[in-house]
Chains A and B, each alone.
Chain A
């Protein structure tokens, strides 16, 4: 079975600085999706970024980018120019290809942003 590990329960960053959140996963599959979701205090789950495993290019969405290392099974999220609104729980998630692939979540990293 696939597993997702986020080794940093809490992180802190100064406003305007850069922070990297770590995620590793375990799978025997070659094709899959990886995601980062943000959960602010409103508890809404918001998709931050997605990566298809067959794509070698790292995904980027504005200030958010990932470092996808398929061989190492690592999927870290980099937030540049951190803003107060980035403070939230961040969840890394894995999903197999195919209609019956369920999303498997890590336990989350709580990010604080200091003004």
Chain B
């Protein structure tokens, strides 16, 4: 039972570097999303997708790109990392209705 798999779990970047956080789910969920979690802020939505080829922006999309070429995968790209992007990132998926299933999170530090 893999569920939602995120990689890497930890990453340190220098300002200006780019990277991709990978997310894959094996539950055939149409809905996938990325959140970031910062102290005292809860989880805030970055981008989401309701199916292959369809993506949209959430509350805090600046500095991030996503694509959804398959139902299973939903990578998050940081184009030019900034210290403000230091955070814990969660990928999540769900059926059309109901609760989200989360990955284990990825802790990103930008120096």
Partner-B contacts on A (CB < 8 A): 9, 33, 35, 42-45, 47, 50, 91, 95, 97-100, 102-108
A51 to B96, CA, bound (A): 16
Taking a contact as CB atoms under 8 Å apart, the answer to whether B42 and A105 are in contact is: yes
Taking a contact as CB atoms under 8 Å apart, the answer to whether A33 and B99 are in contact is: yes
Taking a contact as CB atoms under 8 Å apart, the answer to whether B104 and A33 are in contact is: no
- Residue B53 interfacial (CB < 8 Å): no
**Chain B residues with CB below 8 A from A42, complex form:** 104
- Residue B52 interfacial (CB < 8 Å): no
- Size bin of chain B's contact surface: 20 to 34
A98 to B31, CA, bound (A): 11
B100 smallest CB distance to A (angstroms) = 5
Taking a contact as CB atoms under 8 Å apart, the answer to whether A102 and B104 are in contact is: no
A31 smallest CB distance to B (angstroms) = 10
Taking a contact as CB atoms under 8 Å apart, the answer to whether A100 and B42 are in contact is: no
**Chain A residues with CB below 8 A from B96, complex form:** 98-99
Taking a contact as CB atoms under 8 Å apart, the answer to whether A44 and B30 are in contact is: no
A105 to B98, CA, bound (A): 14
Closest to B102 in A: A45
Taking a contact as CB atoms under 8 Å apart, the answer to whether A33 and B42 are in contact is: no
A36 smallest CB distance to B (angstroms) = 10
CB < 8 Å: which of B31, B40, B105 contacts A44?
B105
Taking a contact as CB atoms under 8 Å apart, the answer to whether B105 and A97 are in contact is: no
Taking a contact as CB atoms under 8 Å apart, the answer to whether A50 and B99 are in contact is: yes
